Structure 1
Amino acid sequence: MVLSGWTVVASESTTFNVQPLDIQAGYIAHRIYLHDYAVPTIEISGVTYSAIDKLPEDAFPSSVQRFDVLMGLDRKKPFAIVRIPAFSVKEDGTLQQVTGLTIKYTENTVPEPVVDNGRGAAKTTADVNSPLATGTWYKVSVPSTGLYKVDYNFLSTQLGVTGIPSSQIRVFGHGGKMLPEQNPQTGVKGLTENAIWVNDGGDGKFDPGDYFVFYAQGPVNWVPNSDRSMLVQEKNYYADKGYYLLNFDAKAEKRVTTQINKPSGNLIVNTYSGAVLHEEDLANPQNFGKRWWGEEFSSAPGKENTHSFTLDIGSMLDTVAFRTHVVNTSTAPGIFTLSLDGKQMSTLDVSATNNYDYAPKAMGQEAIWRLPHPGKSATITITYNTNSSEGSGWLDYIRVNGRRPLSVEGNSNVFCDLNSVGAGNVATYRVSNAGSGTQVWDVTDPQNPVRMDGNLVGGNVYEFVQDASSLHRFAVVNDAGSLDAPEFVATVPNQNLYGSAPVDFIIVTHPDFKTAAEKLAEFHRKRSGMRVIVATTTQVYNEFSSAGQDISAIRDFARMFYERAGMNDADMPRYLLLFGDASYDYKDRIKSNTNFVPTFEALESFDFLNTYSNDDFFGFLDAGENIERYDIVNALDIGVGRIPAKSAEEADRVVDKII
C-alpha cells in the first residue's frame, strides 16, 4: 500500500542465507541504502528454518514478521536497518532458527522528507568569517541568569576602553545554556550578536555615567517538566558560569526593541511559577557518568550523618511541593529522615547495594511531599542511618516549587507562568513593587529580548500585556543603573575557525599540546598531502559554545566542515583527532584531573553496566543524530581518534614515535 501523496521510487528484493555471524543479540540485521530519508515498506517472505535445542542467552523467540525498521544516515546517505527476529517457537513448542529469507523493500518518498539530509545541498565555501577574526575582544562571565549592567567605569578601569561611540557596543554569545547533544536540523551556528539596551544620554557617545544592559543566561536554567506542571532545573554539566564576548570596534546590528501591536488581554496574571533549588555537585563516588552528588552523610569518624539546608521560600503562596533525591552507597539499606523546621515530613528507605561484581554500587530514591506554605524561609534537615560500616548516603538535590506573587524581588528578577499558558490566551501581567524606572523584557528568545510596552498603575504596579498561547519568560528591573556587572575574565586573541576552508583532517588539542599537534599536522600535510587544521579547545569553545566548555562545540566544529561540503565527498572531513586525555570530571574537582579534551559521558552514574564514555559522539554529524537515542541508527561520518596525552612532554614523545 502506498500512502496518498507518496511516490514509489524503488522496489527491490534480496534473498540470502543466514550465517551464524549474521545473528547478533537474537536478530538478523540488514542494511538498505535509500534515495531519501523515509521509512520504506518491508515484506519478509520465503523464510526457511532449522531446528535448535535451546536459545542463546541474549535471544527471545518471536515471529519474523515482528521486525523493526530503524532509520539512519551514513555520510548524508539515508539507509534503513531491518532487524528481524532470528529465533521462534513452532506450534508444537520446538525451537527454530532462521536460515534463509527474502526481504523486499519498497521505497517511498514524501514531498517534504522527515530529515534534510543535505543531498540537494550544493558545495559551499566559507564565505562567512567569525566575528572574532578582527578587532579586540573581551570575555566576561556571569554566575546566574538575569539582567547585567556594564558601565563606563567598568570599561575604562577593567578593560581599558574609553572614547567609543555607543553604536559600536556589541555583546556576543549564549551564556551558560548547554548546546543540544542531538544534532539540530539547521546548520551549525557560530557566535551570534545579542540585542542590548544602551543608556548614553542620547548623545551617541559612551561617557561617564553611561551604561548598557544585556540579558544573560547562567549555568542553571529552568524548563517545564514533561506535563508542564512545574519547573525543573537544567544544569550545565561542563561550566559553572555563563560567558559572553564584548567588542567595541564595529557598528552593532542589534538593540533591544520595544513591543509593537500590543494585544488585548483576556486574563489577569499576578502570580507566577516559582522554584528554589539546592544542588551541589561535589562528588562522583563511582567515578563515571555526568551526574554528580552533593553533601555526604556518614557515621564514620570526622563525617556528619545530618545536614540542614535553609531555602528562601518565604514569599511562596498556598501549597508548596518539596522534591528531593538521595543516594545510598552502603551494603545495608540507608534510612533518610527528612524534617521541615523540626517536624518530620518523610522517611526514605533506600535499597542496599551488594558486592556482586556487576551490581550497581549506588541506589537512589526520590521523595515528593506537598504541604501548606510555612510562611517563611524553610529549614530542611536530613539525617542518614545505616547498619553497615561501609558506604555513605548522599544528597542529590532539593527542589521546591510553588506560586510566588508577581513582584520585583530586590531590584531585578526573572519569571514565567506555566498556569496562564493556553490556546488563545493573552495575559495582562501585573507586577507589584514597581516604580517609575521599571522595565520588563520578554526574554523568551534570550538573544533577542523585547522591551514590553507597559504602564505604571496605582503607583507601584507595572502592567503589561503579552501573548500566553505559549510559555514566555520575562526579566524585570526597577533601576537598571543598579544592576550587577559581569566579571571580566580575559582578552580574547583574534581567531577565525568559522572562516576555514575545507579540510581532510581536524585536530582539536588542549592548548598545552598545540606545538606537538602542529608538528603532527605538518607531517600529514607533507607525507599524505592532507588538508589539516589544528584548533585548541579554547578556540573551539570561543566560536561554538560562547567561550564556555561544552563537548557539543567540538562536535559542531567538525560538523561545520561536514555540512558545508554538501554532497561533495572530497570536501567532507575524513578524520578527527582529539589531542589530550579526558576525564569523567569536566570541572576539575578531583586531584590530578586529566580533562584536557573532554569526552562524552553518559548520564548514568549508578550502574557501570549501563554507562559509558565514548568519543563516537564527535563523529555523528548528520542531522537528528544523537548518541543517546536508540530509535535511530547513529552512523559514524568521520574517523575519530585520541592521543590521551597528560603533559606536553608526553605529547611530544607520542608524536615523535608516530612520525
Structure 2
Amino acid sequence: MIAINKHIFTVIIFFFSLIIHSQVNNSVLANGNWFKFSVDTTGVFKIDKTLLQQIGLSTNNLNPKKIHIYGNGGNLLPEFNGDVRYDDLQENAIYIEGEDDNSFDANDFILFYAKGPHSWKVDINTNNVSHKQNVYSDKAYYFITVNDNNGKRIQSAPSVTGSTVTQLTSFNDYIFYEKETTNLFAAGRRWLGEEFSVENQQTFQIPFPNAILNEPLEIKVSAVAVSGLTSSMQVNVNSQELFNLNFGAISSGLTLASDRTNSKSITNSSTVIDVSLNYNNGGNPSARAYLDFIEVSGKKQLIAGGFQFSFRSFEAANTSGIVEYQIQNSQNIFQIWEVSDPTNVSNIANESSSSSSTIFSFKANGGDLKEYIVVHQNDFYIPEAVSNARVENQNLHALKDINYLLITSNEFVEQAQRIANYHIENSGLTAKVVILDEIYNEFSSGSKDITGIRDFIKHIYETNSTDDAKLKYVCFFGDASYDYKDRILANNNIVPVYLSDESYNLASSFVTDDFFGMLEDSEGTMSSSHSIDVATGRIPVSTQQQATDVVDKILRDYNLDSFGDWRNTVTLLADDIDANSDISIQPGVEIIADDIKVNKPVFNINKIYADAYVQQNSSGGERYPTVKAAITTAIETGTLVFDYFGHGGEDGFAQERFLDIPQVKGFDNENTLPLFITVTCEFSRFDNPTRTSAGEFVFWNTTGGAASMITTTRDVYISV
C-alpha cells in the first residue's frame, strides 16, 4: 500500500491571465541586485531571515519596506503564440510581518502566494477538471530584490455590498497523483509511474480532508499496458468496483503500447480515498502495465483546520448575483486571500456580524471562478535556496536587429562565439550568442520551459528596425535529451528540443527544433499547416572537447583550402527492394537525379543503387560489400552532397548494413566534408543519451564525416 502525503499534491487551478501580449523593451533584471529561489507547489510561502541569508541577501540594515518579489509562477507557458502571457517578470503583492519599524528583525518574515509548476484546467460549463503536469520542471522560480522604492504589498479587497442570493459552506476541490519515473521507449513527453508486472495489485491512499460524505466523487484513472494479448486493469475505490481499463493487444508494428483513460462518479464514503488497481495480464506472464495518473475531484466543507488550503466554488461561478462564503473555525484563520490574479493578491476581511462567532464570512460577486486561500498562522511552505542564487544583471528584452542567434549554455559560450565571429566577419550577419539560463529568467520566470525559448526568439523576430536586420537563423549549440527533468543517468539535456506528446507510436512521435521557428501569432501548436519563419539548426555536442572539435571542423569546411572539383559532385544512394513497399525508392532517387540534370547541369551525379550491385550471403546475413566500399570512396574522394533514400536506423543504413558505425567512425575526409542527407529511419537520433546514433558519429568524426546534415531522427515512412 502506498500512502500519499498531502504535500506531494498540487491542488491548484489554472486561470487565464488578463495580461495582454505586450512588447517590453527592457527587463527588470537589467538593474539592481537580484536573487533567485524555487518553490515546488502552489500556496503561501514564508521567507525568514535565515533563507534570505542562504540566498546571499544581507539583512544588515535591511529595510523590509524596500523588498520586492518578482515571478510569474511555474505553470506551463501556452504554446499557441496568440495566447496571452507575461512578457517579463511581474512584481507580486506580498505581506511582511514586522516591516513597520523599517528593520528586518529576527522574528520578521515575508509571506507570499506562489504558483507551482503544475496546474488544473476547469470547464465551469461542465464542471469538468483535468490536471496539467509540467513536463519541463518540478520547480517554479521567484526573484527577490531590494531597491530604493517601496515594494508591492497585499491590499485589502474591496468590500461587496448587497443582498446575497446564496450562502456557500462547501467548495470544489481536486487533487492528482502522478509519478514520472519511466519513459517506455525513450521517446515523447509521456512518463509513467508504478509498474504492474510482478506486483499486479497496488493501492493508493489519497487524502481528501473535510470531504462531504454521500456526495458525488469523480475518479479518473489513466494507465498504459504493453502486451501481445488483450489485458485489463480493474479500478476499485473505497472497496467499490468502479470500472475496468481494457487494453488492446500490441502486435508487431509501430504502435508499442496501449493507453486507456476512464472516469466515473461514485458516492463518497470517506475522507481518505483508497484507489485499488488490479492488473489482469490476460494470461501473458511478460505483460506489464504502468499507472499514469489518478485524479480525484469532489466537494469539501469550508472548515479551517491546522493547515492552509485553497478553495473555489463552481456554484458561485454559475450564479448571477452576490454569494456569501462561510468558513467554520475562524480561530484557525490568520488571513484569507483572493489569489485569482496571483500577482495581485488581496486580503479578504471577515464580515461576520459577531465578534464571538467562529464563522469567517465574506461576500463576493458570482459569475466567474475566483480562487481563494485560507492562510494558517503556523502552516507555510518554505522556498528552497538554489545554487548560484545571485542573478547577474541581464537585459535580453533590449536586444534587437539580430540576424543570427546562437543559444547555448555557459560551458559552450566560447565555442559558440567562434561560430558567431565567423559569420560577423564573413557573412555580413549580426550574430549574438545568448545563454539559455538568461532566456529562462526573462521569458519563463526562471523555469526550464522551452516555450520561453520560442517566446524569446519571437521577441527578437519582431523587434527589427529594418528588413535587413530581421532574424533569419537560430542555432541551438548543445545536445538534447528526451528527459527534460534529468531522471536518467548521464543525462545531457543541455539545450532542450521539442518532443511530441505521442510516445507510443514511433511513426507519430517526433523530435524537432521547428517549433522554435514558427513565430506567427496564429502558430505554435505544431500544426502541419504552420510554416517556419526562421531557419533552425543544432550542433548536438555534450562536452567541451566535442564542441571544440565540431567547431574546428565547421570552420575548416568554410576554409578555401577545402574547395575543389569534388564540390561539383552529388552522390545519390538508393536502397534495394526487399518488399513491395520499397518499389518507389529507386524511382524516387531517379527523379532527383533527373531534376539535377535539368536544373543544375554543372553537377556530376554519382549513383550508388544497391540493386545494381551483387549481394552476398555471409554469416551475419545478406551484405553488399561493394556498395559499402563505394560509399566510403564517395565520401573520401569528395562529394558536395551525399543523399540516401532507404531503410535504416540508429546503427546505419539498410538491412544489408552497407553503412555502419565502425565505417562512419573511420571516414577520412577532413577537407571534403559533404552535406549529408538521409531519408531513412532515426539514423541521426540525438536525444537518447544512453545510445549514440550513426548520424551523431558522422557529425562528431574529427577526421571526416560531415559538417552539415539534413537528417532523420525518428521512424519515417513513405506514401505512394
> What is the TM-score normalised by the length of structure 1?
0.76
Distance 1:354 1:401, change over 3 A: same
Asked if 1:394 is matched to 2:290, the reply is: yes
Residue of 172, 180, 186 corresponding to 2:78: 180
Q: CA deviation at 1:344?
A: 3.9
With 158-167 and 238-247 compared, the bigger mean Cα shift is at 158-167
Amino acid at match of 1:205: S
2:262 equivalent in structure 1: 367
Q: Does 1:316 align with 2:211?
A: yes
* Distance of 1:316 and 1:230 partners within structure 2: 18
Query: C-alpha displacement at 1:397, in angstroms?
Result: 0.8
Structure 2 vs 1, CA of residues 156 and 625 (structure 1 numbering), >3 Å: closer, same or farther?
same
Following TM superposition, by how much is the alpha carbon of 1:626 offset from its aligned partner in structure 2, in angstroms?
2.1
Which residue number corresponds to residue 488 of structure 2?
Answer: 590
Correspondence for 2:177 among 251, 264, 278 = 278
**Matched residues in 2 for 1:228 and 1:603: separation?**
25
Provide the rounded CA distance (Å) in 2 between the counterparts of 1:563 and 1:187. Answer: 16
Query: Is this contact kept in 2: 1:435–1:478, CA < 8 A?
Result: no
* Residues in 2 aligned to 1:215 and 1:512: alpha-carbon distance in whole angstroms: 35
Q: Which moved further from structure 2: 159-168 or 144-153? A: 159-168
* CA–CA distance in structure 2, aligned partners of residues 297 and 380 of structure 1: 15
User: What amino acid does structure 1 have at the position aligned with 2:183?
Assistant: N
How far apart in 2 are the matches of 1:478 and 1:585? Answer: 37
Comparing 549-558 and 361-370, the one that deviates more: 361-370
| Contact kept? 1:314, 1:378, Cα under 8 Å | no
Alpha-carbon distance between aligned partners in 2 of 1:415 and 1:136, rounded to the nearest angstrom: 36
Which residue number corresponds to residue 130 of structure 2? 232
SS in 1 for 2:507: helix
Query: How far apart in 1 are the matches of 2:72 and 2:335?
Result: 22
Offset at 1:213?
1.3
SS of 1:652 mapped into structure 2: helix
Instruction: State how far apart, in whole Å, the 2-side matches of 1:201 and 1:190 are.
Output: 27
Q: Give the whole-Å Cα distance in 2 for the aligned partners of 1:470 and 1:406.
A: 19
The yes-or-no answer on 1:487 pairing with 2:384 is yes
Counterpart-to-counterpart distance in 2, 1:541 and 1:569: 28
C-alpha offsets along residues 562-606 of structure 1, whole Å, 9 cap, x if unaligned? 22237x322321111111112221111122323111111121222
Note closer, same or farther for the CA distance 1:376–1:478 as it changes in structure 2 (3 Å cut).
closer
2:193 to 294, 309, 315: 294
Tell me: CA distance 1:423–1:543, structure 2 relative to 1, closer, same or farther (3 Å): same
Greater relative contact order structure (CA < 8 Å, 6+ sep)? 1
Q: 2:419 aligns with which of 511, 520, 541?
A: 520
Structure 1 residue 615 corresponds to structure 2 residue 513? yes
Q: Match for 1:249 among 144, 147, 159?
A: 147
Task: Map 1:459-478 onto structure 2 (within 5 A).
Answer: 459-478=357-376
Aligned to 2:322: 426
Verify the 8 A CA contact 1:185 1:624 in the aligned structure 2: no
Q: Is the 8 A contact 1:309 1:381 kept in 2?
A: yes
2:406 paired with 1:507: yes
More helix by share: 2
Superposed, 1:547-586 pairs within 5 Å as: 547-565=446-464, 568-586=466-484
**C-alpha distance 493-201 of structure 1, shift in aligned 2 (>3 A):** closer
| Cα distance change of structure 1 residues 410 and 518 upon mapping to structure 2, 3 Å threshold | farther
Match of 2:158 in 1: 260
Once the two structures are superposed, residues 228-264 of structure 1 have per-residue CA deviations (whole angstroms, 9 ceiling, x without a partner) of 4133212111000111111113424522221125243
1:382 counterpart residue number: 277
TM normalised by structure 2 equals 0.69
Unaligned runs of 5+ in 2: 1-20, 556-720
Shift of 1:610: 2.4
1:164-211 deviation line (CA, Å, top 9, x unaligned) = 222321111112111110113668702221111222252233222222
1:529 CA drift (Å): 3.1
Q: Distance in 1 between matches of 2:85 and 2:194?
A: 41
Task: Label 1:516 to 1:222 Cα distance change in 2 as closer, same or farther (>3 A).
Answer: same
Secondary structure of the residue aligned to 2:407 is strand
The CA RMSD over aligned residues, in Å, is 2.3
1:162-201 correspondence to structure 2 within 5 Å = 162=59, 163-184=61-82, 189-201=87-99
Residue segments in structure 1 that go unaligned for 5+ positions in a row = 1-117
Q: CA deviation at 1:468?
A: 2.1
Moved more, 344-353 or 330-339: 344-353
In structure 2, the partner of 1:113 is none
**TM-fit CA distance, 1:376:** 3.3
Q: State whether residues 124 and 314 of structure 2, in contact with CA within 8 Å, keep that contact through their aligned partners in structure 1.
A: no
Bigger proportion of residues as strand: 1
Name the structure 1 match of 2:30: 133
The answer (yes or no) to whether the contact 1:131–1:191 under 8 Å persists in 2 is yes
Asked if the contact 2:188–2:482 (Cα under 8 Å) also holds between the matched residues in 1, the reply is yes
Aligned counterpart in structure 1 of residue 43 of structure 2, from 143, 146, 156:
146
CA contact (8 A) 2:37 2:385 kept: yes
| Structure 1 residues 263 and 604: CA distance shift in structure 2, 3 A | farther
CA contact (8 A) 1:435 1:459 kept: no
User: Do the aligned residues in 1 keep the contact of 2:124 with 2:317 (CA within 8 Å)?
Assistant: no
Instruction: Find 1:305's aligned residue among 174, 181, 200.
Output: 200
Contact 2:210-2:300 within 8 A present in 1 as well:
yes
Alpha-carbon distance between aligned partners in 2 of 1:185 and 1:371, rounded to the nearest angstrom: 36
**Alignment partner of 2:462: what SS?**
helix
- Which deviations, in whole Å up to 9, do the C-alpha atoms of 1:282-327 show, x marking residues without a partner? 111022221211111113xxxx222221110242121211111111
Q: CA deviation at 1:394?
A: 0.7
Q: Quote the offset at 1:498 in angstroms.
A: 1.7
AA of the residue aligned to 2:142 = Y
CA distance in structure 1 between the aligned counterparts of 2:530 and 2:263, rounded to whole angstroms: 37
Match of 2:349 in 1: 453
The amino acid that maps onto 1:487 is E
Specify the code of the residue in structure 1 equivalent to 2:491. Answer: N
Q: Percent identity?
A: 29
